[in-house]
Structure 1
């Protein structure tokens, strides 16, 4: 983390001048194994992890030049606009399945038993299998992300016409496959343009789309079911998929036009040649490097031979499992079990969790950039979540306690920008490793999520989910411990790099 006293990243370190700027401008020098060059690169990397002078409310660092500030504005508009809109549409789709299920799809298609969780598992399997290869492909080719965006919009539309569980399962598999690239690749792109002190808030703005998306799907489901049910002979739940696709497909087309990909391969006409060179220089100045290509088993050994992969995957796993109730519809099914609200009201009340979560995402991401550290924020959230979620572990807890837990439960999801920003920082010196590790973190977590819900979040146990909530509590504790362990390991690596570069 950024607690070691170093020269600010906004002012290039003396040891990382001409040679350290070349990784983006000369592929040959990026591969140079000369010890002096390696030491210069490590010096630039360690400097990039150091503290940068800025006040918590400042969008720019004091050391940013006028040209850098102009570039940052353009980068924010080009990258964050598309990133936010695309992930917003993805979360509308994710939330729509549960909303469709409780809005008549279960009865119309004759679902029974655990078929809802089976659909979620099928989606997760496809999402997991395709994530790493598509993330690596997106690191190499410019249009992979918007192309996959367009294809998942098409398969989202096709879900309106389903007549059986099998047909819907096939569409959910395809949607999961094409959606798999988005989250990890956007984080890879963010880490390719922004410094450590800039990254948290941008990742937070990107992730705000999850809360907005889940809120939107609740409001949208309520309005669609209320006003479009029966229009043109289609049930309201079918219109949910049509409306979602109408949002997704235009966003994909915007991505083909606006999204700049990464500095090493951007062709966007919205940035001048000088601005593109400046973006590459900013990354080289903090040890960032572009992809250098794969060299078979040597590349694979490089990925698995460092501590980054192992530590970051173990860091990710308990976090994903500790926040399941906010993402698997458990809270929505508890609201429905109260038998006090009609379908429209249940859909509206389901927006409380992601709505309050928007505050957590914003607060934690901006706080992490202000403090220029991630660990204490994550550990503090774990303690808070552990206390609040006991409302569902102890089922006879007061209803008001449960509503408080539901309302604040998205805070555990809200540390996501910190998790992936931290991974971007740790792996900055190797672009292929960074893409692989970020993809692996989520893919391996999802590999477990493909079957764990069948054991601990079985639909037939709703809304009690005793095993599920206890499982989450255990993982909240594990996540706090893995966070502290990763912080220690990261600091040790920086100290060693600093000693070596000296």
Structure 2
């Protein structure tokens, strides 16, 4: 958890600092007055998507304690190189490399959590880990403010360039620590992890046995074909993609702030404030990710809390749909409130992944692949959709982005209820069949599904 959380903070810092740099001088220095910011995301997303599934397979053959830290060192070096870019095309190439190296981190750690934690613990751990994305985003804005105030022009480098240099150095050091901090799998522990004792390993395996969790297995063509035959393989990734697309407008909060002009023509917020204000939104994000995750483990449900987040997420989307169509007659305060409210609905990922673990406790290969499919699906869609839906040239008055978000949230509600209902139908049907054959399935209290899913 220690390595995962610190690594995730740094990963998201490296992933999102392009936006902080964009509003802090990069746009003007490199002449980025079109949709280059969107294309930075597009190139990153394409390479991220292409590498993700191979990475999920590789970590079943190569120790995660070697694979994940090694790639982290790689993306740290690439992050530092962005500081010396002179045009958009150089950044495009480096963003491709960044996507390749970063693709393993989030899904790899989420997969590891499924091997070490029980159903009553998993969502909390995933939630804590996932909230580190918001911490990284908050640090990006805070770090940019600090750099602008202290390092602007030092050694001939603009403040936004120093952001990438510092991020890169930190990332390399964290990656080196991962070789010793990651425990690998309970049945194949890391020999370099001196802190992990035989007693810990025995305890971990006994705990997972009690909850019907299987050991880590290498993914083969047979297991891949079996995974493709499961209905979960298609519905869980689709649900996850929708939960990412629905609140995606929060990523452009700083563009909204940068676009605001006073009556005298001066900017409403200066560069430091544009970077600092979204930090409050990140704090809201962290708080509510923890709330949703803890509630999920305490009351042992995933789908109802997904629906609750969707209902909350609908409210700012409706308000912003009205504001973008008539900004003159709609209070600006409504737009501010909507952006902050959107951060309350960003706790869906830990619930979806915990639900996946509940549904497939005894099929580690399928779990690992479906995590990969889910994340790859997100980046495959983002690689083209965010350019069309959230073009930077339209900010903040997007033509139809918020209206689409309403539709995405509605689909989240329908799919969450549908998956829950379908899972219940299959469970009931299986019990009836087993009773007819003279066998009764043991009850397993793990919330959304039983251990024989």
Which TM-score applies when normalising by structure 1?
A: 0.81
- Structure 2 counterpart SS, 1:140: coil
Answer yes or no: is 1:279 the counterpart of 2:207: no
Q: Deviations over 1:438-489 (max 9, x none)?
A: 1101101211111111211111111111311111111011111111111122
Q: Distance in 1 between matches of 2:239 and 2:282?
A: 23
- Structure 2 counterpart SS, 1:163: coil
**Structure 1 residues 41-52: aligned runs within 5 Å:** none
Residue 160 of structure 2 corresponds to: 237
Q: Distance in 1 between matches of 2:296 and 2:216?
A: 28
The answer to whether the 8 Å contact 2:60/2:219 transfers is: no
Residue 254 of structure 2 corresponds to: 332
Residue 88 of structure 1 corresponds to: 9
**Structure 1 residues 463-478: aligned runs within 5 Å:** 463-478=396-411
Aligned equivalent of 2:237, options 313, 318, 332: 313
Q: Deviations over 1:213-266 (max 9, x none)?
A: 111111111111221110000011100101111221111112111110221211
Residue 168 of structure 1 corresponds to: 91
The answer to whether the 8 Å contact 2:249/2:390 transfers is: no
The answer to whether the 8 Å contact 1:138/1:185 transfers is: yes
The structural deviation recorded for 1:408 is 1.9
Answer yes or no: is 1:250 the counterpart of 2:178: no
The structural deviation recorded for 1:285 is 2.5
Answer yes or no: is 1:186 the counterpart of 2:109: yes
- Structure 2 counterpart SS, 1:394: helix
Answer yes or no: is 1:492 the counterpart of 2:412: no
Q: Deviations over 1:277-332 (max 9, x none)?
A: 22122222322222433443x323201111110121221121111021123xx211
The answer to whether the 8 Å contact 2:185/2:216 transfers is: no
Answer yes or no: is 1:301 the counterpart of 2:236: no
Q: Deviations over 1:356-415 (max 9, x none)?
A: 111111111111111110111111111111112222111133222211111121222222
The structural deviation recorded for 1:189 is 0.5
Aligned equivalent of 2:319, options 391, 398, 406: 391
The answer to whether the 8 Å contact 1:188/1:424 transfers is: no
The structural deviation recorded for 1:498 is 5.2
**Structure 1 residues 103-502: aligned runs within 5 Å:** 103-142=24-63, 143-267=66-190, 268-296=193-221, 298-327=222-251, 330-338=252-260, 339-395=267-323, 396=327, 397-496=330-429, 500=434, 502=440
The answer to whether the 8 Å contact 1:322/1:412 transfers is: no
Q: Distance in 2 between matches of 1:493 and 1:276?
A: 35
Q: Distance in 2 between matches of 1:293 and 1:208?
A: 29
The answer to whether the 8 Å contact 2:72/2:172 transfers is: yes
Q: Deviations over 1:72-98 (max 9, x none)?
A: xxxxxxxx1111101100111122101
Residue 446 of structure 2 corresponds to: none
Q: How many residue pairs align between the two structures? A: 420
The answer to whether the 8 Å contact 2:389/2:398 transfers is: yes
The structural deviation recorded for 1:152 is 0.8
Residue 62 of structure 1 corresponds to: none
Q: Deviations over 1:159-187 (max 9, x none)?
A: 11111211111111111111111111111
Gaps of 5+ in 1: 1-79
Which stretch shows the higher mean deviation, 368-377 or 285-294?
Answer: 285-294
The CA RMSD measured in Å over matched residues stands at 1.5
Q: Distance in 1 between matches of 2:220 and 2:386?
A: 38
The answer to whether the 8 Å contact 1:204/1:362 transfers is: yes
- Structure 1 counterpart SS, 2:347: helix
Q: Distance in 2 between matches of 1:181 and 1:272?
A: 27
Q: Distance in 1 between matches of 2:331 and 2:74?
A: 46
Which TM-score applies when normalising by structure 2?
A: 0.89
The answer to whether the 8 Å contact 1:196/1:425 transfers is: yes
